[in-house]
Amino acid sequence: MKKTSTHQQFKETLNFLYTQLPMFQRVGNTAFKKDLTNILALCKAIGDPYKKFSSIHLAGTNGKGSTAHILAAILQASGKKVGIYTSPHYKDFRERIKINGQLVSKKYIVDFVETHKKLFKVIQPSFFEITVAMAFDYFAQQKVDIAIIETGLGGRLDSTNIITPLLSIITNIGYDHQQFLGDTLPEIASEKAGIIKANIPVVIGETHLETESIFIEQAAKKKAPIVFADQLLTVSIKETTPHHSLFEITPKKEAAFPSLLKVNLKGNYQAKNLATALRAITIIQEKKLFMDITNEAIVRGLDNLKERTYFIGRWQQLGANPTILCDSGHNVDGLRTVFEQLKDIEYTQLHFVFGMVKDKDPSKVLSMLPISAKYYFAKANIPRGLDAKNLQKEAAKHNLKGRAYVSVKNALEAAKRQANDTDLIFIGGSIFVVAEVL
C-alpha cells in the first residue's frame, strides 16, 4: 500500500480545517464566536500551553501585523527565539505561525490535527480557535523566548485573550467589523481595551479624543501602567529607497533611540507602527521584562526586517515599467493611508485592481477612491468575496469607471495590457485580493 506523502496529508488536513470548521475570513459572520469557553476547554485538554511561554499581546484596527513584525525583527536581532501568531494568511496557512521567520512545519500541523480530532468533535471549536490553540502548543513545544500574539477580531472576547502577557499593545482604533465590536469608536475601543490585564503595562499607539479616556479608565481599573506612543515619540519619514524607508525619530521626552532608522519597509504609514513598536521596546528595556535590547540590535533588526520575519503583503512592489504595487489595507482608515501614499508617487495613469468582501458596506470606501483612476473590479476566490459586477455597479454610483473580471488574475492581466511603462498599477481593497497576486 502506497504511503501518503506529508504534502498530501497536509492538503487533506487543510481541507478538514477549511470545510469542517467555520472560518470567518472565508464565510464571514457565521464563523464568529463571542465567547472564550471553547478556547479555554481546548487549551485545558492539551495542557494549557499558553502558560508555558512569555508573550506580547497586540490588538487594534490597523497596524497589528506590521507592529508585530517590527518588534519580532528587533527581538530576533537581540538573539531571542521569537514566535509570531497573526491572521489571516495570504498564500499559505502556515504564515499564521512562525518562529524567527520560519513557517510552522506541515508535519506539525498534520500531527496536531490528527492527534486532537476526537477532541474537536467534542468541543466543536471554530477554525480560529483551533489555529490559536495550535500556535500556543507549537510555541510551547519549541520553547520560544517570547511570542507575539495578534488578536483576530476585537480583544475582550478574542480567542487569544486567555494569555497573560508581559506587555499589551493597542495600535489604534478605527471603523471595522462594527457588527461585532460596536458602531462607535468608544464602543470599538472598549472591546479592544479588553486585552488590558491587571498590572501589565499597555502601549496605545495613537491618541484619539474619542477613545483616550476609555483606555485610561480601563488601565486605571486594572492598575496597568499606560502610555500613548505618539505622546512620547514623533516618527516621520525622511526618504525612501527601493527596499528601505529612512525614518527620523524625535523623542518628546528623554529616549535613547538613534535619531535616524533605516527600516526594511515601505509605506509612510509605517511611521505610526514604528513609533508604537519603539515605545514597546522602551518599556521592555525600562522594566527589564526579559532582556536587554541595544541600539545596535534595533538597527540590525530593522535593516533586514522582511527576511528575518517573513513579512509580506504590505506596500509590496511586484513589478516595474509599469510599477505594480499591492497593499492589504482593507478598511476606511487603512485605505486612506494607502491613498495618501499614492499621492507621493509619480505616474501617468493609475490603474486600480480592486475587490472587497460582501459583509462590509462598500460606500464609505468607494467614496474615497480617486475618480481619475481606471478600475478593474474583481472578486477574490473566497465565498465572502463581493461579486465583481455588484461592486462595479456600486462604484458607478461614485463615478468610478471600469470593467468587472471573473478573477483577480484576469483583472491584473487586463491592467497590464492597458498600462504604459510610466503608469502605476495598484492592487488592493482586501487582503484576499492581494493574496492572489503574491
Query: Coil, strand, or helix at residue 39?
Result: helix
Beta bridge partners of 319: 324
Q: Which region among 182-191, 227-236, 247-256, 385-394 has the lowest average model confidence (pLDDT)?
A: 247-256
Give the chain's radius of gyration (CA, Å). 21
* Helix, strand, coil % over all residues of the chain, rounded to 5: 40, 20, 40
* Tally of domains in the chain: 2
Is the confidence at residue 257, as pLDDT, over 60?
yes
Please report whether residue 1 resides in a domain: no
Kindly report, residue by residue over 63-112, the tens digit of the pLDDT: 999 999 999 999 999 999 999 999 989 999 999 999 999 999 999 999 99
325 shares a domain with 237 = no
Please report whether residue 146 resides in a domain: yes
DSSP one-letter code for 383: T
What is the domain-level CATH number for residue 185? 3.40.1190.10
pLDDT band at 27, cuts 50/70/90? Answer: very low
Q: In what order do the strands lie in the sheet with 316-319?
A: 316-319, 323-326, 424-428, 350-354, 374-378, 402-405
Please report the pLDDT score of residue 362 as a whole number.
Answer: 87
136 shares a domain with 274 = yes
| Residue 421 belongs to domain spanning | 316-435
Largest CA distance in the chain: 69
267 shares a domain with 243 = yes
Please report the pLDDT score of residue 278 as a whole number.
Answer: 95
Percent of the chain with pLDDT over 70: 92
Asked if residues 325 and 427 have their Cβ atoms less than 8 Å apart, the reply is yes
Q: How far is CA 172 from CA 58, 62, 204, 364, in A?
A: 10, 6, 7, 19
390 shares a domain with 279 = no
217 shares a domain with 261 = yes
pLDDT band at 424, cuts 50/70/90? Answer: very high
Q: How high is the mean pLDDT of the chain?
A: 90
Asked if residues 100 and 76 have their Cβ atoms less than 8 Å apart, the reply is yes
C-alpha cell at 280: 514597546
91 shares a domain with 113 = yes
Please report whether residue 70 resides in a domain: yes
Is the confidence at residue 179, as pLDDT, over 60?
no
338 shares a domain with 207 = no
Please report the pLDDT score of residue 185 as a whole number.
Answer: 87
Kindly report, residue by residue over 181-225, the tens digit of the pLDDT: 546 888 889 989 999 999 999 999 999 998 999 999 999 999 999
Is the confidence at residue 1, as pLDDT, over 50?
no
Is the confidence at residue 300, as pLDDT, over 90?
yes
276 shares a domain with 198 = yes
Is the confidence at residue 365, as pLDDT, over 60?
yes
304 shares a domain with 250 = yes
156 shares a domain with 294 = yes
Q: Which region among 18-32, 278-292, 372-386, 398-412 has the lowest average model confidence (pLDDT)?
A: 18-32
Q: Note the Cα 126 to chain centre separation in Å.
A: 20
CA angle at 380 for the pair 376 and 369, rounded to the nearest 5° = 40
Please report the pLDDT score of residue 23 as a whole number.
Answer: 53
187 shares a domain with 96 = yes
Is the confidence at residue 240, as pLDDT, over 80?
yes
Domain boundary among 309, 325, 356: 309
Please report whether residue 264 resides in a domain: yes
Is the confidence at residue 21, as pLDDT, over 70?
no
Please report the pLDDT score of residue 34 as a whole number.
Answer: 65
Query: Coil, strand, or helix at residue 119?
Result: helix
Domain boundary among 274, 309, 344: 309
Please report whether residue 67 resides in a domain: yes
Please report whether residue 125 resides in a domain: yes
Domain boundary among 290, 309, 328: 309
Asked if residues 132 and 160 have their Cβ atoms less than 8 Å apart, the reply is yes
Which amino acid, 217?
E
Please report whether residue 21 resides in a domain: yes
What is the domain-level CATH number for residue 407? 3.90.190.20
288 shares a domain with 233 = yes
Please report the pLDDT score of residue 267 as a whole number.
Answer: 85
The more confident residue out of 208 and 19 is 208
Is the confidence at residue 337, as pLDDT, over 90?
no
Please report whether residue 78 resides in a domain: yes
Is the confidence at residue 30, as pLDDT, over 50?
no
301-312 b/e with 16+ CB inside 10 Å = b? bbbbbbebbbbb
